Amino acid sequence: MQKGIHPGNYRFVVFKDMSNGHTFLSRSTAPTKETIKWEDGNDYPLIKLEISSTSHPFFTGQKVLVDTAGRIDKFKRKYEKKK
């Protein structure tokens, strides 16, 4: 692994999903000016997210991926003719 290509200033940061209010503590180097008091009583930098795994339709199972371009039907039509 190459040395010196990864940042060395990782710190604990709270990420907040703005669509459902879910928060989690992780490490990051992303810059932010906001802070939030976490469950342990300490203040941590806050990074606001528009979507996370707790609100994304793919991970929550609320929405199924749909073939909107009709690729499957196009494939079937193309190879039906060769039969």
pTM for the model: 0.64
Domain count, the chain: 1
Is residue 6, in this structure, part of any structural domain at all? Answer: no
Inside any domain, residue 35:
yes
Task: Show the domain range for 52.
Answer: 11-80
Q: What is the pLDDT of residues 38-74, one digit of tens each?
A: 999 999 999 998 877 777 666 666 655 555 567 777 7
Q: What's the pLDDT score for residue 25?
A: 95
Alpha-carbon gap, residue 16 to 47, rounded angstroms: 6
Query: How large is the C-alpha radius of gyration of the chain?
Result: 22
Residue 67 is predicted with a pLDDT of 58
Query: Residue 4 pLDDT > 70, yes or no?
Result: yes
Q: Is residue 2 part of a domain?
A: no
Residue 59 lies in a domain: yes
The answer to whether residue 32 sits within a structural domain is: yes
Q: Is residue 74 included in any domain, yes or no? A: yes
User: Mean of the per-residue pLDDT values for the chain?
Assistant: 82
The per-residue pLDDT for 23 is 93
User: What gap in Å lies between CA 16 and CA 23, rounded to an integer?
Assistant: 4
**Is 43 a member of any domain?**
yes
pLDDT of residue 68: 57
